[in-house]
Chain A
Amino acid sequence: MSDKKLNAGRRKVLKTLSGIGVASLMGGFGLGSAWAASKKVKMGFIYVGPRDDYGYNQSHFEGKSSLSKLDWVKAVDEENVPETIEVVKTMESMINLDGAQVLFPTSFGYFDPHILKVAKKYPDVTFLHCGGLWSESKHPKNVGSYFGYIDEPMYLAGVVAGHMSKTGKLGYIAAIPIPQVLRNINSFTLGARSVNPAITTNVVFTGGWSKPVKEAESANSMADQGVDVLTCHVDSPKVVIQTAEKRGIYSVGYHTNQAVLAPKGFLTGGEWNWSKVYSDYAEMIKTGKKIPNLVRGGLKEGIVKLSPYGKAVSAKAKADADARLKKFMDGSMVVYKGPIKDNTGKVVIPAGKSYTQTDIWLESMGWMVEGVIGTTKG
Chain B
Amino acid sequence: MFKVFESLLIPIAALVLSLVLFSVFMWFSGTNAFDVLGAIYRGAFGSWFSWQNTLVRSAPLMLTALCTALPARIGLINIGGEGAMVVGGVFATLVGISISGMSPFIVISAMVLAGMVTAGMWIGMVGALKHLRNVNETISSLLLNYIAIAIMSYLVLGPMRDPATLNNPSSFHIGMANMIGNIGESSIHGGLIFGLVVCIALWVLMRYTTFGFSVDVIGGNIRAAQISGLPVGKLILITCFIGGAAAGIAGVIEVAAVQGRANLSLNSGYGYAGILVAFLARHNPLAIIPVAILLGGIRASSGLLQRGFDLPDATTTVLQGIIFIVILASEFMYGRIKWLQPRVTAHA
Given contacts A83-B268, A89-B300, contact A178 B166 (CB under 8 A): yes
Pick the contact of B312 from A79, A90, A97, A377 — CB < 8 Å? A79
User: Residue on B with the closest CB to A44?
Assistant: B307
Q: Is B211 an interface residue (CB 8 A)?
A: no
Given contacts A78-B313, A178-B167, A207-B153, contact A85 B57 (CB under 8 A): yes
B265 and A83 contacting across the interface, CB-CB below 8 Å: yes
Q: How far is the CA of A94 from the CA of B302 in the complex (A)?
A: 12
A84 and B254 contacting across the interface, CB-CB below 8 Å: yes
Q: How far is the CA of A208 from the CA of B268 in the complex (A)?
A: 12
Q: Is B258 an interface residue (CB 8 A)?
A: yes
A82 and B304 contacting across the interface, CB-CB below 8 Å: no
B167 and A179 contacting across the interface, CB-CB below 8 Å: yes
Q: Is B23 an interface residue (CB 8 A)?
A: no
Instruction: Please provide the chain B residues from 113 to 151 with a CB less than 8 Å away from any CB of chain A in the complex.
Output: 149-150
Q: Is A19 an interface residue (CB 8 A)?
A: no
User: Residue on B with the closest CB to A87?
Assistant: B265
Q: Is A77 an interface residue (CB 8 A)?
A: yes
User: Residue on A with the closest CB to B49?
Assistant: A96
B264 and A93 contacting across the interface, CB-CB below 8 Å: no
Residues of A within 8 A of B258 (CB): 84-85, 113
B189 and A109 contacting across the interface, CB-CB below 8 Å: no
B265 and A50 contacting across the interface, CB-CB below 8 Å: no
What is the 8 Å Cβ interface bit string for chain A, positions 168-185, against chain B (1 contact, 0 not)?
000000001111100000
What is the 8 Å Cβ interface bit string for chain B, positions 285-311, against chain A (1 contact, 0 not)?
000000000000001101110110000
Q: Is A112 an interface residue (CB 8 A)?
A: yes
Q: Is B333 an interface residue (CB 8 A)?
A: no
Given contacts A85-B57, A89-B56, A108-B167, contact A378 B157 (CB under 8 A): yes
Residues of B within 8 A of A89 (CB): 52-53, 56-57, 300, 303
B306 and A77 contacting across the interface, CB-CB below 8 Å: yes
A109 and B53 contacting across the interface, CB-CB below 8 Å: no
Q: How far is the CA of A108 from the CA of B263 in the complex (A)?
A: 12
A3 and B164 contacting across the interface, CB-CB below 8 Å: yes
Q: How far is the CA of A133 from the CA of B307 in the complex (A)?
A: 27
A109 and B168 contacting across the interface, CB-CB below 8 Å: yes
Q: Is A363 an interface residue (CB 8 A)?
A: yes
Q: How far is the CA of A22 from the CA of B312 in the complex (A)?
A: 34
A180 and B167 contacting across the interface, CB-CB below 8 Å: yes
Q: Is A320 an interface residue (CB 8 A)?
A: no
Q: How far is the CA of A221 from the CA of B304 in the complex (A)?
A: 43
B265 and A90 contacting across the interface, CB-CB below 8 Å: no
Q: How far is the CA of A51 from the CA of B56 in the complex (A)?
A: 25
Q: How far is the CA of A109 from the CA of B165 in the complex (A)?
A: 10
Q: How far is the CA of A177 from the CA of B156 in the complex (A)?
A: 12
B263 and A86 contacting across the interface, CB-CB below 8 Å: no
B307 and A109 contacting across the interface, CB-CB below 8 Å: no
B56 and A111 contacting across the interface, CB-CB below 8 Å: no
User: Residue on A with the closest CB to B254?
Assistant: A84
B154 and A84 contacting across the interface, CB-CB below 8 Å: no
Q: Is A76 an interface residue (CB 8 A)?
A: yes
The smallest C-beta distance from B58 to any residue of chain A, in angstroms, reads 11
Q: Is A98 an interface residue (CB 8 A)?
A: yes
Residues of A within 8 A of B313 (CB): 50, 78-80
B265 and A84 contacting across the interface, CB-CB below 8 Å: yes
A86 and B57 contacting across the interface, CB-CB below 8 Å: yes
Pick the contact of A377 from B158, B259, B303 — CB < 8 Å? B158
User: Residue on B with the closest CB to A147?
Assistant: B167
Q: Residue among A82, A88, A93, A108 with the most chain B CB within 10 A?
A: A93
Q: Is B274 an interface residue (CB 8 A)?
A: no
Residues of A within 8 A of B189 (CB): 85
Instruction: Please provide the chain B residues from 256 to 278 with a CB less than 8 Å away from any CB of chain A in the complex.
Output: 257-260, 263-265, 268-269
Instruction: Please provide the chain A residues from 62 to 91 with a CB less than 8 Å away from any CB of chain B in the complex.
Output: 76-86, 88-90
Q: How far is the CA of A92 from the CA of B47 in the complex (A)?
A: 14
The smallest C-beta distance from A298 to any residue of chain B, in angstroms, reads 17
The smallest C-beta distance from A204 to any residue of chain B, in angstroms, reads 14
Residues of B within 8 A of A82 (CB): 265, 268-269
Residues of B within 8 A of A109 (CB): 168, 263-265
Pick the contact of B49 from A79, A92, A179, A209 — CB < 8 Å? A92
Residues of B within 8 A of A3 (CB): 163-164
Instruction: Please provide the chain B residues from 39 to 88 with a CB less than 8 Å away from any CB of chain A in the complex.
Output: 43, 49, 52-53, 56-57
What is the 8 Å Cβ interface bit string for chain B, positions 170-191, against chain A (1 contact, 0 not)?
0000000000000000010100
The smallest C-beta distance from A376 to any residue of chain B, in angstroms, reads 9
Q: Is A225 an interface residue (CB 8 A)?
A: no
Q: Is A55 an interface residue (CB 8 A)?
A: no
Pick the contact of A179 from B56, B154, B166, B269 — CB < 8 Å? B166
A364 and B166 contacting across the interface, CB-CB below 8 Å: yes
Residues of A within 8 A of B49 (CB): 92-93, 96
Interchain residue pairs with CB less than 8 A apart (11): A3-B163, A3-B164, A76-B306, A78-B306, A78-B307, A78-B313, A113-B258, A113-B259, A176-B169, A207-B153, A378-B158
Given A84-B259, A111-B168, A112-B168; 18 other pairs, CB 8 A cutoff: A76-B306, A77-B306, A77-B307, A78-B303, A78-B307, A80-B313, A83-B268, A84-B265, A85-B258, A89-B303, A97-B307, A113-B258, A131-B168, A176-B157, A178-B166, A180-B167, A207-B150, A209-B264
CB-CB nearest 8 A-B residue pairs: A82-B268, A83-B265, A76-B307, A80-B313, A108-B168, A89-B53, A79-B313, A3-B164
Q: List residues of B whose CB falls within 8 A of some A CB.
A: 43, 49, 52-53, 56-57, 149-150, 153-154, 157-158, 163-169, 187, 189, 254, 257-260, 263-265, 268-269, 299-300, 302-304, 306-307, 312-313
